[in-house]
Amino acid sequence: MTKPEPVNATQNQLLEWTALTARLAEKQQELWQLLARKSQTMLQQKSNPDPMNLQEGLKQYFSGLLLDPEKALKAQLDLGQRHAALMQYALGRMQGENPVPIMQGDKNDRRFRDLRWTENPLFDYIRQSYLLNTQWWQERLGEMETPDDAMARKLRFAMRQYTDAMSPSNFWLTNPEVLDDTLKSKGENLLKGMDNLISDLKENSGRPKISMVKKGLFEVGKNLAMTPGKVVYQNELIQIIQYSPSTEKVFKTPLVIISPWINKYYILDMQAENSFVKWCVDQGHTVFISSWANATSAHKDITFADYMTKGLLAAIETAQQATGEKQVNVIGYCIGGTLLATLLAYWKARGEKSPVKSATFFTAMIDFEDAGELTLFTDEAQIAAMEEMMAETGYLDAWHMHTTFNMLRANDLIWSFVVNNYLLGREPFPFDLLHWNSDSVGIPGPAHSFYLRQMYLENNLAKPGKMKINNTALDVAKIDTPSYFISTIDDHIAPWKATYRSAKLLGGKVTFTLAGSGHIAGVVNHPGKNKYHYWVNDKLPATPEEWLHETPRHEGSWWVHWAKWMARYGGAKVAARIPGKGKLKAIEDAPGSYVKVRAW
């Protein structure tokens, strides 16, 4: 009997890679079926295939090239010369030389932090070629001559999305870390990554929503939002939590916090070591906070005015009833701060006495003239398309806001997870902030439409008499409540120069503080962390640049400075109040039930 020929190592490898290809093909078939079903659903729905109207912008761009062919030719020659120089650099490296890189790149760009991107000549060439092309396109769009500056900004944003997506770090064959993992695991990382992708699509009805944190790792009420308290009021829009005291004596005037209704309130009460809520309680404040309902079709008639009356006003009245005090101190975070300014102006316009003793605005805009990159999504065409979509459901699905905010920081909030979850086949990162970031809420259609049109599109709140609530014309310049603005220097949602202009609109005494970092990390900065820095000044010169030039910098957290400022309006110390023991009875334990409702 003839013995079979031994299978050599090469044949083994070939068999293994053939098997891998077959398994990937099976998973790919499942993936295509999921995407096909979603595509069919999208075709049946009314949707604008080009909501940003980029076709018009591209038409303007290429029309400009046709009108100036010499400029187009010069640009092409320039690109060719740059690539020729890069090729010469690459050949020099292959010959053992050490030439100066053509494209240095950003040292903080985490996409290329693996040393092989610079140490390996091939991957160095791929990286620099990508950076070169990206820079060239940015320069071309920067030179675009158009009477429509908004369109030019849209095209630059769209090009950034495209170049971010086309980074060589996002493809397994051109990412050295992924390629190395693929060879070592014999492709198991790609199989696991395909499983992760299919799982995410199934959980979100075929829509792309990347898991940012390991499932089941964090849960509100178990290891997030743990500060003790009771829900003491609720309606169809909001729950109000009153927190249990941690000191025998507390400030007489209660503190009401109005959180943004785009995300969950517990960003201010994540865990004990970074909880703003717990820190305020420990400073001796009787703290109340808003927990907004996740909007569904049942909220289709909720207006912006309802957010003011059934939301903010209800929270203030709850604090008054629970403590017996007539005055309250109020914090409004982001859109919550915009709502606070609206209510203060409303009272002024109606000649009513405000119960708000002091107002604190966390990264909040009143003047939306220069509201950053979010204005790219808030022109007439896009708002109209959004309104048409909301008319069908009655609300804006949380997925849309979540995706929009992630696009503003696509490399950090989209593509880094694509690489980690789908290419490397790893679990998402164990980070509580990412859990919160994925826990968005739906927004009632009428309220969202009013907000987008009145603030972003027309900037009416900043214009005396232009914005009306219940037929009452508002003028924020008449607000004389002592106010404290906290903004952050790297904020991409509420740019600090816009919040500075907002602060200057108010008529009362204003202290303006600028903190390090961004919209979240700059606000949630516990003093115990000893991180970042801040600038503070109650003199507001004409421009934000002048203010920054004239204002000294302080190390550490702004919380300590704000606490001293707030103590002026806290009143005398009184016996601590126990939630549910006053006029308002406890409905349920904090964090309540509204915050536990997930939008997906």
Q: State the residue for tokens 């334990």.
A: 589
Question: Does 471 share its domain with 559?
Answer: yes
Same domain, 330 and 417: yes
Q: Does any domain span residue 205?
A: no
Give me the mean pLDDT over the 140-157 stretch. Answer: 79
First to last CA, the chain: 64
Question: Residue 474 domain-assigned?
Answer: yes
Last residue of a domain, which of 154, 170, 186? 170
Reported as a pLDDT band with limits 50, 70 and 90, residue 33 is confident
Does 437 lie in the same domain as 346?
A: yes
What's the whole-number mean pLDDT along residues 555-567? 97
pLDDT score of 102? 94
The reported pLDDT for the residue numbered 25 is 78
Burial class (CB in 10 A: 0-12, 13-18, 19+), 600: middle
As a three-state string, the secondary structure of 393-429 is: HCEECHHHHHHHHHHHCHHHHHHHHHHHHHHCCCCCC
Number of structural domains in the chain: 2
Counts for the chain of helices (H) and strands (E), in that order = 21, 17
Write down which residue in 121, 152, 170 finishes a domain.
170
In a domain, 13, yes or no: no
Within-domain flag for 26:
no
* Spatial contact of 93 and 120, defined as CB atoms under 8 Å apart: no
Cβ count near 309 (within 10 Å): 16
DSSP string, 341-392: HHHHHHHHHHTPPP-EEEEEEES--S--TT-GGGGGG-SHHHHHHHHHHHHH
CA 179 to chain centre: 31
Query: Do residues 366 and 338 make contact, with C-beta atoms less than 8 angstroms apart?
Result: yes
356, with CB counted inside 10 A (0-12, 13-18, 19+), is: buried
pLDDT at res. 417? 94
At residue 152, the pLDDT reads: 83
Q: How far apart are CA 281 and CA 569, in angstroms?
A: 16
The answer on 499 and 383 residing in a single domain is: yes
Note whether 163 and 243 are same-domain residues: no
Which residue range forms the structural domain that includes residue 153? 54-170
Predicted pLDDT of residue 43: 47
Quote the pLDDT of residue 429: 83
Annotated catalytic residue 280: no
27 in any annotated domain: no
Do 442 and 591 share a domain, yes or no? yes
Mean pLDDT for 123-142 is 94
pTM: 0.90
Q: How many CB atoms lie within 10 A of CB 12?
A: 10
Final residue of a structural domain among 137, 170, 203: 170
**166 and 236 co-located in one domain:** no
pLDDT in tens, 379-395: 888 899 899 999 999 99
Specify whether the CB–CB gap between 334 and 260 falls below 8 A.
Answer: yes
Domain assignment present for 25: no
Does the residue 392 lie in any domain?
A: yes
Residues 143 and 242 reside in one and the same domain: no
Is residue 372 domain-shared with residue 513, that is, in the same domain?
Answer: yes
Q: What's the rounded mean pLDDT across residues 536-560? A: 96
Q: Which of 213, 232, 334, 590 is catalytic?
A: 334
Give residue 215's pLDDT band: very low, low, confident or very high (50, 70, 90): confident
Instruction: Report yes or no on 582 lying in a domain.
Output: yes
pLDDT of residue 551: 97
Q: Output the pLDDT for position 369.
A: 93
Please tell me the distance from the alpha carbon of residue 175 to that of residue 4, in angstroms, as a whole number: 40
Q: Are residues 157 and 262 in the same domain?
A: no
CA distance 415 to 251: 47
Question: Do 415 and 493 fall within a single domain?
Answer: yes
482 with 581, same domain? yes
pLDDT tens readout for residues 424-468: 999 988 888 888 998 989 999 999 999 999 999 999 999 999 999
Question: Can you give the CATH number for the domain in which 303 is found?
Answer: 3.40.50.1820
The CA distance from 528 to 272, in Å, is 11
